[in-house]
Amino acid sequence: MSEFFTISVLVATVASGIRLATPFLLAALGETLGQRSGVLNLGVEGVMLLGAFGAYYTTLETENTLAGILVGVGIGIVMGVLYGVVTLAFKAEQGISGIGIFIFGLGFSDLLFQSQVGTPLPIDRLSELEIPVLSEIKWVGEMFFQQHALVYVAFLLVPTMWYLINRTTFGLNVRAVGETPEAADSLGVSVDRTRYAAIIIGNALAGLAGAALALELGIFQQNLTNGHGFIAIALVYFGAWRPSRVMAGALFFGMVSATVLQWKTLGIVQGTTASVVAMSPAVLTIVVLVFVSRRIGAPSALTRPFDRGR
């Protein structure tokens, strides 16, 4: 255990924890916005997989990472429109439609991968973007300022999302339609339009989260996300629908994962123990959720379709 508690290992662990937290954070921030508008999307995992494949395939073909990222986001937007039509225009049951989106994403991303690529060809991974001056700082620089671009994007999105929800007209509309859509409607706020916008932004971020995962690993395979999207949904509850607390949850999860990886690398845990410890992030999340979330702050209209005149 003593080999874990050296400065260099700890610094590396924190740096990798932040990196591992990034896809969770992106997806969870998007889901936060969607849920604040009253729409639950259990299909985050599926959208992430499609976004991941889109980003991977585009980068493989064009060798342009930025194009990959944009395609990932674009796929998220398309899925957002689709989910909006299903849940808003057709008022389908949100829990079930989300599971449908997940299964679709899981199957379709693998189908495309098998037919278009076949064998897992590696692509260029996202390169580190060293922030001038700040990355020079001892330890701190390595932890925070030698990350890839999407890490910075994700963490800058935390205050941005807070501002969007709490300090803009759009955010006020989102909060209103997520709590009391009837009241918003009676004041001329379009419930559907507001929810469409929130869902589309949310899904775009899920697509981006998938892209971040694929481009960071430089690979795609069946079920690449392996539960990331579901954890992200749990983090929204864990974070009580507030971007800063969602970030805390994502970081907590990333740190635990990074620690487990580090222990495995250092041989502190081995074999069956390693497998058991590897489950700990998920177990810890559930345990914390049980204690933390008493559904305080849940948008009252979450999962409730709005039907005027009813």
Partner 1 sequence: MADLKPGDVMLEMKGITKRFPGVLANDRVDFDVRSGEVHTLLGENGAGKSTLMKILYGLYKPEEGTIEFRGEPVDISSPSDAIDYGIGMIHQHFMLVPTLTVAENVALGLGTGSRFTQDLGPVKDRIRELSEAYRLHVEPDAYIWQLAVGERQRVEIMKAIYRDVSLLVLDEPTAVLTPAEVDDLFVTLREMTGSGRGLVFISHKLHEVMDLSDRITVLRSGRVTGYTVPAETSRENLAQMMVGREVLLAPNRTRVEVGAERLSIQGLNVESDRGTPAVTDFDLSVRGGEVVGVAGVSGNGQRELAEAITGLRHVESGNVLINNTDTTNWTPKEVRGAGVSYVPEERMRDGAIGAFTVAENLILLNHDAPPISNRGILQFRAIDTACSDLVSRFAVKTPTLETPTSSLSGGNIQKLIIARELSSEPTVLIASQPTRGVDIGAAEYIHSVLMEQRADDVAILLISEDLDEVMGLSDRIAVMYEGELMALMDREDATVERLGLLMAGVAEEKV
* 165 versus 209: smaller Cβ distance to partner 1: 165
The 3-state secondary structure of 139-163 reads CHHHHHCEEEHHHHHHHHHHHHHHH
- CA 82, CA 199: separation in Å to the nearest integer? 10
Rounded Cα distance, 130 and 236, in Å: 30
Of 138 and 310, CB closest to partner 1: 310
Q: Which is nearer to partner 1, 128 or 192 (CB)?
A: 192
130 sits in which H/E element: strand 128-130
Cβ proximity to partner 1, 36 vs 148, nearer residue: 36
Which two three-digit tokens encode residue 239?
A: 């974070």
Output the smallest distance, CB 80 to partner 1, in A. Answer: 19
Q: How far is the CB of 204 from partner 1 (least distance, A)?
A: 17
Binding site for partner 1 (CB under 8 A): 167-173, 175-176, 179-180, 182-190, 300, 308-309
Provide, rounded to whole angstroms, the least separation between the CB of residue 149 and partner 1. 24
**Least CB distance to partner 1 at residue 15 (A):** 34
Task: Give the chain's count of helices (H) and strands (E).
Answer: 13, 2
Q: Minimum CB separation from partner 1 for residue 172, in Å? A: 6
Q: Which residue has the tokens 């936060």?
A: 32
Least Å distance, CB 297 to partner 1, is 8
Q: How far apart are CA 101 and CA 116, in angstroms?
A: 21
For partner 1, the closer CB: 168 or 275? 168
The minimum distance between CB 249 and partner 1, in angstroms, equals 21
Report the C-alpha gap between 95 and 198 in whole angstroms: 17
Exposure of 174 in the CB half-sphere (CA atoms within 13 A): 28
- Look at residue 273 and give its three-state secondary structure: helix
DSSP assignment of 254-277 equals HHHHHHHHHHHHHTSS-HHHHHHH
Residue 132: φ, ψ to 5°: -55, 150
Q: How far is the CB of 73 from partner 1 (least distance, A)?
A: 20
Residues pairing with 129 in the sheet: 147
Nearer to partner 1, 7 or 187 (CB): 187
Q: Select from 79, 14, 6, 29 the least CA-distant residue to 49.
A: 79
Q: Which token pair is 191?
A: 């419930």
149 or 189, CB closer to partner 1? 189
Nearer to partner 1, 172 or 274 (CB): 172
